[in-house]
């Protein structure tokens, strides 16, 4: 389970540095925006996990008539967004956990970029969000798939085997496309999902982990911290096996989903 108190603190603490390090998340935001359907005019938008407001600005530019509610669990992120969008009457910012968020509002678009991996109950949350959509509304989101950081995970497995210690996993355990497809279907949605790999390069594996911490995205699970001996060997193996002319790679498997209500077929007799 994700420890939401740790999650809030980590993202709040790193809010001022987030935009400088979140290059993959920014690229995903642009690609996610391009997947939004053009079926009807969008007047109301709920953005889940708005962070400092990078995607928020893209939405404002794309939908100049829309009113946007930006939701984020971390007060530090919301405060950064408030500074950036001070006086903007089209935007309402709310500090809340989407898994506890309830509203009487209806939205033409509910969108989330690189945030759903932090859900403890993704099926229930997707179902509830879909209930907030207008008749022809869309749920559009991106998240990370199970191959994300596979280099780190493989180095961890080898280090654990070498040291003969009991340590189940490192970092976040991501859901795959099939799981998201099933949750969207259970919510009564027809989902189109696709995926791609995005790779960042760093001077060393240690620099990679530093960048993850700088956006607050290091694991917020209760007790999976690796001891210094394990971490030292893990980083040695990561650098040894994955070093290339470009540096040390970190792979992100990005999952994109566009969900619309299932069309009901009326059979005349």
Alpha carbon distance 28, 99 (integer Å)? 23
> In the predicted model, what is the mean pLDDT of residues 181-197?
96
**Residues paired with residue 190 on neighbouring β-strands, in sequence order:** 260
Alpha carbon distance 82, 76 (integer Å)? 10
Does residue 244 lie in a domain region? Answer: no
> Nearest-CA neighbor of 47 among 89, 5, 91?
91
3-state SS class at 16: coil
Q: Average pLDDT of the chain?
A: 91
Percent of the chain clearing pLDDT 70 (strictly above): 93
Contact criterion met (CB below 8 Å) for 112 and 68: no
pLDDT at 264 over 70: no
Contacts of 106 (CB under 8 A, 6+ apart): 44, 132, 133, 134, 137
Tell me the per-residue pLDDT of 34-51, one tens digit each, with 9 for 90 and over: 999 776 789 999 999 999
Q: 266: pLDDT confidence band, cut at 50, 70 and 90?
A: very low
Dihedrals phi, psi of 90, to nearest 5 degrees: -85, -10
Tell me the per-residue pLDDT of 110-123, one tens digit each, with 9 for 90 and over: 999 999 999 999 99
Does residue 47 lie in a domain region? Answer: yes
Does residue 165 lie in a domain region? Answer: no
**How many domains in the chain?**
1
pLDDT at 1 over 90: no
Q: 8: pLDDT confidence band, cut at 50, 70 and 90?
A: very high
Tell me the per-residue pLDDT of 68-108, one tens digit each, with 9 for 90 and over: 999 999 999 999 999 999 999 999 999 999 999 999 999 99
Does residue 127 lie in a domain region? Answer: yes
pTM confidence score: 0.91
The CATH number linked to 50 is 3.40.50.150
Contact criterion met (CB below 8 Å) for 192 and 256: no
Range of the domain at 88: 4-146+173-197+250-261
Tell me the per-residue pLDDT of 131-183, one tens digit each, with 9 for 90 and over: 999 999 999 999 999 999 999 999 999 999 999 887 777 778 899 999 999 99
Does residue 156 lie in a domain region? Answer: no
3-state SS class at 85: coil
Does residue 109 lie in a domain region? Answer: yes
Q: Which two tokens stand for residue 205?
A: 């594996």
Does residue 164 lie in a domain region? Answer: no
H helices of 46-149, in order, are: 54-62, 75-84, 122-130
Lowest mean pLDDT among 39-48, 57-66, 223-232, 256-265: 223-232
Does residue 255 lie in a domain region? Answer: yes
3-state SS class at 257: strand
H helices of the chain, in order, are: 4-13, 18-21, 23-33, 54-62, 75-84, 122-130, 150-163, 177-186, 205-214, 228-242
pLDDT at 17: 87
Tell me the per-residue pLDDT of 214-227, one tens digit each, with 9 for 90 and over: 887 765 454 455 67
């Amino acid at each position: 389970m994700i420890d939401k108190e740790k999650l809030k603190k980590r993202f709040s603490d790193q809010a001022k540095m987030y935009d400088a390090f979140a290059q993959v998340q920014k690229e995903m935001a642009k690609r996610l925006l391009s997947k939004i359907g053009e079926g009807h005019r969008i007047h109301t938008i709920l953005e889940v996990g708005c962070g400092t407001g990078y995607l928020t600005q893209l939405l404002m530019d794309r939908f100049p008539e829309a009113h946007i509610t930006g939701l984020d669990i971390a007060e530090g992120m919301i405060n950064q967004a408030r500074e950036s969008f001070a006086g903007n009457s089209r935007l309402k910012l709310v500090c809340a956990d989407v898994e506890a968020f309830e509203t009487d509002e209806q939205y033409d678009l509910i969108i989330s970029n690189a945030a759903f991996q932090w859900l403890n109950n993704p099926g229930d949350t997707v179902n509830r969000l879909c209930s907030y959509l207008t008749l022809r509304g869309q749920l559009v989101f991106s998240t990370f798939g199970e191959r994300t950081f596979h280099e780190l995970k493989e180095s961890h497995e080898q280090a654990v085997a070498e040291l003969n210690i009991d340590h189940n996993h490192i970092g976040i355990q991501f859901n795959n496309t099939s799981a998201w497809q099933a949750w969207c279907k259970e919510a009564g949605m027809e989902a189109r999902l696709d995926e791609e790999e995005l790779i960042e390069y760093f001077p060393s594996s240690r620099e990679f982990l530093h960048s993850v911490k700088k956006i607050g995205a290091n694991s917020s699970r209760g007790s999976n911290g690796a001891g210094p001996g394990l971490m030292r060997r893990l980083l040695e193996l990561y650098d040894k096996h994955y070093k290339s002319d470009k540096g040390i790679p970190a792979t992100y498997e990005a999952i994109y989903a566009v969900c619309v209500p299932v069309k009901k077929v009326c059979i005349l007799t």
